[in-house]
Amino acid sequence: QVQLVESGGGLVQAGGSLRLSCAASGSIFSIKSMAWYHQAPGKQRELVAAITSSGITNYAESVQGRCTISRDNAKNTVYLQMNSLKPEDTAVYYCYVQDRNMNGGVSNYWGQGTQVTVSS
């Protein structure tokens, strides 16, 4: 099993910045993709940004140019730097990790979520 511990959420004014972190630990074999999703009240969970093991990134259109995802493979940690935050960014942010297992398949893990609230 892989455990994910998120940190960095909080309350910020519109236009402000936050940096989310997610550290993976436990029975890690070989982490492939790492990503951040968010879920606003009454809405489905949506991808915010993802990064592959080789550093290729992908962003939701709504955060393009405002957010940067990065990872430290040595620390099994993924980060999300969020700038120019808007009230519509308010949501619970979840870390996602895809780990290659010894059988050749993959296992998917989710963090517990961290609240981000942007006030206007």
- The answer, yes or no, to whether residue 3 has pLDDT greater than 90, is yes
Q: What tens digit of pLDDT does each residue of 58-78 get? A: 999 999 999 999 999 999 999
> CB of 68 within 8 A of CB of 78?
no
What number of CA atoms fall less than 13 Å from residue 105's CA on the CB side?
A: 3
Note the pLDDT tens digit of each residue in 22-72.
Answer: 999 998 888 999 999 999 999 999 999 999 999 999 999 999 999 999 999
Name the amino acid, one letter, at 52: T
